Structure 1
Amino acid sequence: MTLRIIAAEEQLRTLKHSVQTLSKFGGETVLEARPGLIHFRSVNQSKSAYVRMTFNSTFFDVYELFEQPVLSASILSKSLVASLKTQRICRAVFEVFTQQNRMVVFVDCENGLQKRFEFDLIDTDALQAQINFDLYPVRITAEAQELSRLLSSFQQSLEEMTLIANPDAGPTQGGPATPSKSCQLHSFYDPQKIDMEGNLSKLLHTQLSLNAQQHFLEYQHTGRETVDVTFNLRDFKVVLGYCASTRNNLTILVSRAGEPLAILPAPMNEHMNAGFTSEFVLATMVDSCVDEFGQHLSALNKTQQQQQQQQQQRAAERGSHQSMNTADVASHLVALNGNNSNSNAKSVVGRPGAEGSVAKRLKVGQSQDTETMTLSMSCNDKGDGGNGGDEAGRDGEEDNDSEVPATPPHERRLETCIQNWS
């Protein structure tokens, strides 16, 4: 035996919540036991969320480390959760055998039932995150229940959120600092995940402007510029649930966009939860969501601008691809209408010109000869310019054409291009 730990009552309850939280972040839990303390670490598969929980030896009823000064082992998180899943546990014993490469958990229930769980240790990489929390300019301390109440204003399906922290408002002349909306919470939608076919109208953008003095226990911003970070909301809610179950407040440390977001649970008072600490590190999006004036830039506006640029680019590419010379268009239309020599056809085909949109009007008469006429169209033309283009006296002849047939499909596409250019 290399390590032996015994926990009961309130300590066991806290350890159980800690193990469940570790399993929500990563599939593996790394144990690092040293004389006087033990670390539990986990990281998610995408390496975007990291958690470390440290328990002092005084936290447990029994803490014994044998044979070696440092023990490092890894186990499956679901196996550790399963060993503590039984209801009404009053005592648990954890034993690690490094030579046999296994871990054994003994559980005593209130009704006298005893259970034994045994599982193998697995190989894993060492997990370590070195962060200097003193360098973070923004420090926000709040109650877990208050933050949960604020987050209830957002959609349950929301995946990311943006936090904007404004610098502290300095004191006015002759008086203290006036309350201001020091912090903002915005819903964030990744433009790459938004459907480009028009689902923007289905998205709900929510913004909360918060007075730091009313909603937070502490708010410090030692910098001079507005700071924003965009992080995963689901991971953040897991941290909130852990702090609420262990009766902790939480301190949020923010640096800038792209830098990790750190969360440090803090006891509500000095006499609670003595003997263990924890820290959570969440990755943030590299791009900032505020402009040079500190104003929020909505991702929806960015997406709409990108869509407009893409539509303009596609329209330009379509126009250059569809543009053909007049002779080819005329011969193609004559071929389409050549089978019915007794009918008259009118068609409008457009392409971009040097001075705007130019439409070529082709008229097929009763004879086999074709007459091509050019008519200038404005950008506001809807494509049905035959009403004003067939006036009497244009060639000194009256227009006695019969019913106009439907516009061929390739011609309708060109009419659409003309409308989109306006």
Structure 2
Amino acid sequence: AHARRPAVAWPYRTLDPPAATASERTGEGLSASGFMSYTGRIVLSLGRSQQIKDLKVALQCLFKIGTELLVESISDRLVLRSINTAKSAFFAVTFTAAFFDDYQVHGSQVVQSAVLLKHVLATFRTHKIQHMTLDLDADQSSLTITVVGDNNIKKTYHLECMNSEILNATIDKESCPTQVIAEAHELNKLLSSFQTGLDEITIIANPEDSASVASMHRAVQLQSFYDPDKARSANSLHTSLAIDTRSLFVGYRHARESPSDVTFNVKDFRTMLTLCEHMGTNIMIRFEATGMPLVA
């Protein structure tokens, strides 16, 4: 049986401009409401089908977390972020300037804005997009997306930017004592062992010393989690998986003498797995203890 876990509280901060002084910085924690407005303009261009597909999948994953797309562009990269309404899940995707055929930032070192994700995703409905241009003008609070389809029909969409706070989750990932590296596809298969509709799963990391290895001890466990304060159906299925880290994980490190565990939302975690599977990359999971965030 699990004791009720503390609610996960992500530390957030408002993103500061590069030249902000110490007195201007908001510091740690959730900043006061307000729109962090920056002038400037960014123009992005994509002309290859794989580029467009990668951007679309990233936006779809962001939409599974929150409804707003938080955009931050600087000289060498574009960062797209999304936060759920409870501020318990945060998702960020970074594209380097080299990902785009053309990447221009004008008028400011940092250009930030926000738009509704459903409106951005609507521009991808055109069949077989051949070319796409995104022009975000922070001064005019507008995003213009131009799409050219395989029939050479040009479509232009004008989206209004929103008064939203540009937040970033702040956590020292390197300080997390537990680190798991796995193939996204293999980890997704493990999650398929759990009951459909399960909201949360607990991951437990155990020390992996010579004695535990000799006894074939399974260093990581995944277990169904049901909130003890909520009614539980008699048909609920409790599933527990004991995982041999040497055979199923690419890498595993637990720098504590005692076990650690965190409970996370399955739907949010699958969103990250979906993106990693699409990109063909491994996923790295880091965590510290109950009530602390799981970082992937």
Please tell me the TM-score bracket, short chain as reference.
0.7 to 0.9
Does the residue aligned with 2:277 lie in a helix, a strand or coil? Answer: helix
Contact in 2 for aligned 1:5/1:93 (Cα 8 Å): yes
Does the residue aligned with 1:19 lie in a helix, a strand or coil? Answer: helix
The within-5 A match list for 1:38-53 is 38-53=78-93
Q: 1:34 corresponds to which residue?
A: 74
Structure 1 residue 99, shift from structure 2 partner: 2.7
Structure 1 residue 178, shift from structure 2 partner: 6.0
Contact in 1 for aligned 2:148/2:155 (Cα 8 Å): yes
Of 202, 207, 219, the residue aligned with 1:162 is 202
Q: 2:94 corresponds to which residue?
A: 54
Contact in 2 for aligned 1:163/1:228 (Cα 8 Å): yes
**Equivalent AA in structure 2 for residue 214 of structure 1:** S
Structure 1 residue 93, shift from structure 2 partner: 0.3
Does the residue aligned with 1:262 lie in a helix, a strand or coil? Answer: coil
* 1:126-164 Cα distance to aligned partner (Å, 9 max, x none): 211111111011111111111111111111110011111
Q: 2:231 corresponds to which residue?
A: 194
Contact in 1 for aligned 2:113/2:166 (Cα 8 Å): no
Q: 1:70 corresponds to which residue?
A: 110
Structure 1 residue 256, shift from structure 2 partner: 0.6
The runs of 5 or more residues in structure 1 that have no matched partner are 264-422
Of 278, 283, 286, the residue aligned with 1:250 is 283
Q: 1:5 corresponds to which residue?
A: 44
Q: 2:180 corresponds to which residue?
A: 140
Contact in 2 for aligned 1:252/1:261 (Cα 8 Å): yes
Of 148, 152, 167, the residue aligned with 1:108 is 148
- Give me the whole-angstrom Cα distance separating, in 2, the residues matched to 1:43 and 1:203: 30
Does the residue aligned with 2:78 lie in a helix, a strand or coil? Answer: strand
| 2:169 paired with 1:129 | yes
Distance 1:177 1:63, change over 3 A: farther
- Give me the whole-angstrom Cα distance separating, in 1, the residues matched to 2:215 and 2:100: 47
Q: 2:24 corresponds to which residue?
A: none
Contact in 2 for aligned 1:164/1:227 (Cα 8 Å): yes
The runs of 5 or more residues in structure 2 that have no matched partner are 1-39
**Equivalent AA in structure 2 for residue 158 of structure 1:** L
| 2:281 paired with 1:261 | no
Distance 1:8 1:170, change over 3 A: farther
**Equivalent AA in structure 2 for residue 8 of structure 1:** G
Structure 1 residue 171, shift from structure 2 partner: 6.1
Structure 1 residue 81, shift from structure 2 partner: 1.0
Q: 2:30 corresponds to which residue?
A: none
- Give me the whole-angstrom Cα distance separating, in 1, the residues matched to 2:166 and 2:243: 40
Runs of 4+ residues over 3 Å off in structure 1: 176-179
Does the residue aligned with 2:92 lie in a helix, a strand or coil? Answer: strand
Instruction: Give the number of aligned pairs.
Output: 256
Higher relative contact order (CA 8 A, sep 6+): 2
The within-5 A match list for 1:175-186 is 179-186=216-223
- Give me the whole-angstrom Cα distance separating, in 2, the residues matched to 1:131 and 1:26: 20
Structure 1 residue 45, shift from structure 2 partner: 0.6
* 1:169-188 Cα distance to aligned partner (Å, 9 max, x none): 2269xxx8664201111101
| 2:108 paired with 1:80 | no
- Give me the whole-angstrom Cα distance separating, in 2, the residues matched to 1:177 and 1:40: 46
TM-score (norm 1): 0.58
- Give me the whole-angstrom Cα distance separating, in 1, the residues matched to 2:196 and 2:231: 17
- Give me the whole-angstrom Cα distance separating, in 2, the residues matched to 1:41 and 1:104: 19
- Give me the whole-angstrom Cα distance separating, in 2, the residues matched to 1:203 and 1:55: 41
Give the structure with the higher percent helix. Answer: 1
- Give me the whole-angstrom Cα distance separating, in 2, the residues matched to 1:100 and 1:221: 50
- Give me the whole-angstrom Cα distance separating, in 1, the residues matched to 2:147 and 2:129: 7
Structure 1 residue 67, shift from structure 2 partner: 1.3
| 2:261 paired with 1:228 | yes
Q: 1:212 corresponds to which residue?
A: 245
**Equivalent AA in structure 2 for residue 216 of structure 1:** F
Larger CA Rg, structure 1 vs 2: 1
TM-score (norm 2): 0.82
**Equivalent AA in structure 2 for residue 104 of structure 1:** T
Distance 1:87 1:223, change over 3 A: farther
* 1:98-149 Cα distance to aligned partner (Å, 9 max, x none): 2322110011122322211111001101211111111011111111111111
- Give me the whole-angstrom Cα distance separating, in 2, the residues matched to 1:259 and 1:143: 24
Contact in 2 for aligned 1:29/1:76 (Cα 8 Å): yes
Q: 1:94 corresponds to which residue?
A: 134
Q: What RMSD, in angstroms, separates the aligned Cα atoms of the two structures?
A: 1.6
* 1:205-254 Cα distance to aligned partner (Å, 9 max, x none): 11111111111111111111101111111111111111112212100101
Does the residue aligned with 2:202 lie in a helix, a strand or coil? Answer: strand
